[in-house]
Amino acid sequence: MMTQKQGEGQGTLRDIAYVIFKHKKKMIIIFCATVACAAIVSLVMTPVYRANSKILVKFGRENVYTPAVGGASNSSPVLVDPQREEHINSAIEMIKGQKVIETVIQKIGLKNIYPKLVDDATPSGKESALSEATTKFQKKLRVQALKKSNIIDIKFDHNSPTIAVKVVSTLIDTFVEDHVTAYRQPRNFSFFSEQVKLLSRKLQASEAELEAFRSRHDISSLQEQKSTLLRQIADVEVDLAKTRADLSENRGKKEALEASQGSLTVEPRLGKETDANNPYALSAIRTRLTELRLKEAELLNRYPETSTLVVNVRSEIRQAEQLLAKDERTYHDKEVRSLDFTMQASKQKEATLKETLTTFQRRLNSLSAVEMRFKELERQFKLDEENYQLYVRKTEESRISNAMDTEKIVNLSIVEPASVPVKPEQPKIPLNIGLSIFLGILLSLGVTMLAEYLGHAFNKAEDVEKRLGVPVLATIREMEA
C-alpha cells in the first residue's frame, strides 16, 4: 500500500514536470514578455519626486490668552492647554485646507505646478482649472502626525524635484501665516495708542486739579488745622459748660433771695449761714443787738419793766432792730442787683461762646468738606494713573505681539526642511522588476495549467486509459524529422 501511494505521488510530480517541459516555450515567452513590459513601463514612466519636511508643534504664546482690556486685577494671562492630538489635528487640517492650497498655487503659479491644466484650459475656465489643480494637489499631498510625538510630516509628489521642494516650503510658509492670523490676539495697536494719549491728558488734568486744590487750601497743614480747631472747640465747650453752671447757680441764689424777701424780721439770725451771708457791718449790729438783749434780761432781773434803765435799753434794742432791718433790706436788694448783673454777664458770655462754638464748628465742617474733596480728587488721580499704566502695558504687549506676528514668531519649528530629492520616488525600477519576475512566474504557470486543462489531446497512455477506460497495448514514439 505504501509503495502504491509513493508511486501516486511520484506520478503527480512527473505529471507537473511533464506539463512544464511540454509548455516550456510558452512559459518562457510569457515570463519574458511580463518582465520586459514591466521594465519598459518603468523606464518610460515619468519620474515622480517626493519632497519631504517635518515641523514641530510646541507649547507657545498661542496657548496663552491675555484679556485685551480690564482692570489690573483681571489682566493676568490665562493658559489654554488643549490635548496634544487636538492641537496637532488642528494644524494638519489647516495645512490640508483648501485656502492654504489655493494660496500656495497662486504664489508659485498654476502654470509652474500644472502647466498642462493651463494649456488645456479656456480663458473662461481659469476658475475650474484652479479647482481641478486644488483637487490634484490634495491627492499628491500627504500630511500626517508621527506617532507619540508633536511632529507633523509633510510630503508632496511632483514630476519636478525643484517644484516639489518649492511647493513644500511655500506650503509651510503659508500655513505659518494662516496660523499667525488664526491665533492672533484680538488687539489693536492704534486703539491702545489713542487710549494712552487720551488717558495721559486726563491724568495730567487730574494731577493739575489736585495740585491746585492742595495749594489753594494748604492741604499740607490740614490735619494740624483740624487738631487746633478740635482743641479750641473742646475749650469753648468747657467754658460754655462752666458759664451755664455759674448762670444756673446764680439763678438759684436769686430765686432763694426773692423767696426770703417777704420773711425778713428784726430777729437776729445766728449761725454759720448768718455770718457767711452778711457783711461785717451787719455782724456788728447783730452783736450789739445781742448785747443789748442780754443787758435787758439782766436789768429785768434787778429792776422792774418801768425802770428807766430797762426802758432805755429797750429803746436802744428797737433802734438796733430797725437799723438791722434796714441794712438787711439794703443788702438783699444789693445782692439781687449783683446777681442780676452777674447773670446778665454770664448770658452774654454764653451767647458769645455759642457763637464762637458755631464758628468753630462751621470751620471744622468746611475743613472736613475740603478733606473729603481732596480725597476724592486723590482717588480720581490714582484711578487715572492706574488706567494709564494699564493701557501703557497693553500698548507695549500689543506692539510686541504685532512685532512677533510680523516676524512670524509662533509655536512652530521646522525640524527638517525640504531638500531637493536626488532619486525619484516613482518608478522604483528594481522593485518593479522584482515584482514582474514573480508575476511572470505566476502568470506563466497559470497560463500553462489553463492550457493543459482546456486541451483535448491524449499525450500519454495514462490519459487514454483514464478517459476511455481501455488498456493501451503499445505506443509508437513520434518520429523526429
Q: What is the CATH number of the domain that holds 383?
A: 1.10.287
Mean pLDDT of 406-413: 60
**288 contact partners, CB below 8 Å, separation of at least 6:** 320
**Based on the domain organization, do 234 and 109 belong to the same domain?**
no
Q: Which residue is it, cell 512559459?
A: 27
> Confidence band (pLDDT; 50, 70, 90) for 383?
very high
Residue 340: give the domain boundaries. Answer: 215-405
349-354-355-360 Cα dihedral, nearest 10 degrees:
120
Task: Give pLDDT, residue 111.
Answer: 85
More confident call, 419 vs 10 = 419
Residues 224-242: tens digit of each pLDDT: 888 888 898 899 899 989 9
**Based on the domain organization, do 287 and 326 belong to the same domain?**
yes
> Confidence band (pLDDT; 50, 70, 90) for 322?
confident
**Spatial separation of the C-alpha atoms in residues 91 and 93, rounded to whole Å:** 6
Residues 107-160: tens digit of each pLDDT: 888 888 888 887 766 655 567 788 888 888 888 899 888 888 888 899 988 888
Contact between 415 and 56 (Cβ < 8 Å):
yes
The answer to whether position 195 is within a domain reads no
> Is the CA virtual torsion 367, 369, 372, 374 positive or negative?
negative
Q: Name the percent of the chain lying above pLDDT 70.
A: 73
Q: What is the mean pLDDT of the chain?
A: 76
Task: Give pLDDT, residue 330.
Answer: 72
**Based on the domain organization, do 141 and 277 belong to the same domain?**
no
> Confidence band (pLDDT; 50, 70, 90) for 269?
very low
> Confidence band (pLDDT; 50, 70, 90) for 268?
very low
**Spatial separation of the C-alpha atoms in residues 312 and 145, rounded to whole Å:** 150
**Based on the domain organization, do 348 and 466 belong to the same domain?**
no
> Confidence band (pLDDT; 50, 70, 90) for 473?
low
The answer to whether position 159 is within a domain reads yes
H/E run at residue 302: helix 280-302
**Based on the domain organization, do 385 and 240 belong to the same domain?**
yes
Q: What CATH number should be reported for the domain holding residue 172?
A: 3.30.70.600
**Based on the domain organization, do 179 and 238 belong to the same domain?**
no
**Based on the domain organization, do 23 and 163 belong to the same domain?**
no
Task: Give pLDDT, residue 76.
Answer: 52
Count: domains in the chain: 3
Task: Give pLDDT, residue 406.
Answer: 56
Residues 343-370: tens digit of each pLDDT: 888 889 889 988 998 998 898 888 888 8
| Least confident residue range of 273-277, 290-294, 469-473 | 273-277
The answer to whether position 90 is within a domain reads yes
**Based on the domain organization, do 398 and 420 belong to the same domain?**
no
Task: Give pLDDT, residue 1.
Answer: 34
Residues 164-205: tens digit of each pLDDT: 889 888 988 888 888 777 666 555 667 778 888 898 899 899
H/E run at residue 433: helix 429-454
The answer to whether position 201 is within a domain reads no
Is the pLDDT assigned to residue 7 strictly greater than 60? no
**Grid cell listed for 284:** 456788728
Mean pLDDT of 64-92: 60
DSSP letters spanning 316-336: HHHHHHHHHHHHHHHHHHHHH
More confident call, 290 vs 123 = 290
Residues 424-466: tens digit of each pLDDT: 767 677 887 888 888 888 888 888 777 767 765 656 666 666 6
Task: Give pLDDT, residue 480.
Answer: 59
**Based on the domain organization, do 397 and 259 belong to the same domain?**
yes
Mean pLDDT of 79-93: 71
**Based on the domain organization, do 391 and 418 belong to the same domain?**
no
| Least confident residue range of 143-147, 273-277, 338-342 | 273-277
> Confidence band (pLDDT; 50, 70, 90) for 288?
confident
Mean pLDDT of 21-34: 82
**Based on the domain organization, do 263 and 373 belong to the same domain?**
yes
DSSP state for residue 426 in the 8-state scheme: B
The answer to whether position 433 is within a domain reads yes
Q: Name the percent of the chain lying above pLDDT 90.
A: 3
Task: Give pLDDT, residue 304.
Answer: 82
Out of 342, 374, 405, pick the residue that ends a domain: 405
Task: Give pLDDT, residue 277.
Answer: 47
Task: Give pLDDT, residue 8.
Answer: 42
> Confidence band (pLDDT; 50, 70, 90) for 382?
very high
> Confidence band (pLDDT; 50, 70, 90) for 83?
low
> Confidence band (pLDDT; 50, 70, 90) for 380?
very high
**Based on the domain organization, do 247 and 395 belong to the same domain?**
yes
